[in-house]
Amino acid sequence: MATSYKQQKPIGKYHSIIIGSGMSGMALAAILAKEGKKCLLLERHYTPGGFTHVFKRRNYEWDVGIHYIGDVHRPQSVLRQMFDYVSESRLQWEEMDANYDRIFFGKEAYNLVAGKEAFINTLVTYFPEEKKAIEQYYQTVTAAFKQAKNFFAEKAMPPLLSKFVGNRMRKKTLEFASVTTRNMLENITQNQKLIGVLTGQYGDYGLPPAQSSFLMHSAVVKHYMHGGAFPVGGSAEIFNTIEPTINEAGGEVFTNAEVKKIRIKNGKAIGVQMADDKELFAKHIISSAGAGVTFNQFLKDEKSTQKFKQVADKINPSACHLCLYVGLNADNEVLQLPKTNFWIYPENGYNHDETMANFFNDPDNAPLPVVYMSFPAVKNLTWNKRYPNRSTVELITITKYDQFKNWENTRWHKRGETYESYKEKLAQRLLKYMYEYVPQTKPYLDYYELSTPLSTKSFVNYEQGEIYGLKHTPERFNDKTLRAITPIKNLYLTGQDIATAGIGGALNSAVLTASAMLKKNMLSKILNQTKQRLTETN
Beta strands 108-113; 371-374: pairing state: unpaired
Q: What is the mean pLDDT of residues 228-242?
A: 96
Nearest by Cα to 67 from 392, 470, 494, 495? 392
- Residue 217 falls within a domain, yes or no? no
pLDDT attached to residue 538: 57
Report the alpha-carbon distance of residue 137 to residue 185 in Å, rounded: 7
- Residue 10 falls within a domain, yes or no? yes
- Residue 126 falls within a domain, yes or no? no
Q: What is the mean pLDDT of residues 308-337?
A: 93
Nearest by Cα to 413 from 50, 60, 55, 21? 55
- Residue 125 falls within a domain, yes or no? no
pLDDT attached to residue 458: 86
Which run of H or of E encompasses 62? strand 60-63
Q: CB atoms < 10 A from the CB of 428, how many?
A: 12
- Residue 263 falls within a domain, yes or no? yes
Q: CB atoms < 10 A from the CB of 314, how many?
A: 12
- Residue 154 falls within a domain, yes or no? no
pLDDT attached to residue 536: 66
pLDDT attached to residue 312: 84
Report the alpha-carbon distance of residue 530 to residue 386 in Å, rounded: 33
Give 55-107 pLDDT, tens digit per residue: 999 899 999 989 999 999 999 999 999 999 999 999 999 999 999 999 999 99
Number of domains in the chain: 1
Give 330-375 pLDDT, tens digit per residue: 999 999 999 999 999 999 999 999 999 999 999 999 999 999 999 9
Residue 534's pLDDT band (cuts 50, 70, 90) = low
Give 379-414 pLDDT, tens digit per residue: 999 999 999 999 999 999 999 999 999 999 998 888
pTM for the model stands at 0.96
- Residue 18 falls within a domain, yes or no? yes
Which run of H or of E encompasses 117? helix 116-126
pLDDT attached to residue 316: 87
The CATH number assigned to the domain holding 494 equals 3.50.50.60
Q: What value does the mean pLDDT of the chain take?
A: 95
Nearest by Cα to 349 from 192, 137, 187, 185? 192
**Domain ranges, residue 15:** 3-53+232-316+468-537
Question: What burial class does residue 480 get, using C-beta atoms within 10 Å of its C-beta: 0-12 exposed, 13-18 middle, 19+ buried?
Answer: middle
pLDDT attached to residue 311: 86
- Residue 42 falls within a domain, yes or no? yes
Q: What is the mean pLDDT of residues 108-136?
A: 98
pLDDT attached to residue 313: 86
Residue 213's pLDDT band (cuts 50, 70, 90) = very high
Which DSSP string corresponds to 15-29?
Answer: EEEEE--SHHHHHHH
Q: By the 8 A CB rule, do 291 and 468 touch?
A: no
Give 23-36 pLDDT, tens digit per residue: 999 999 999 999 99
Beta strands 279-287; 268-274: pairing state: antiparallel
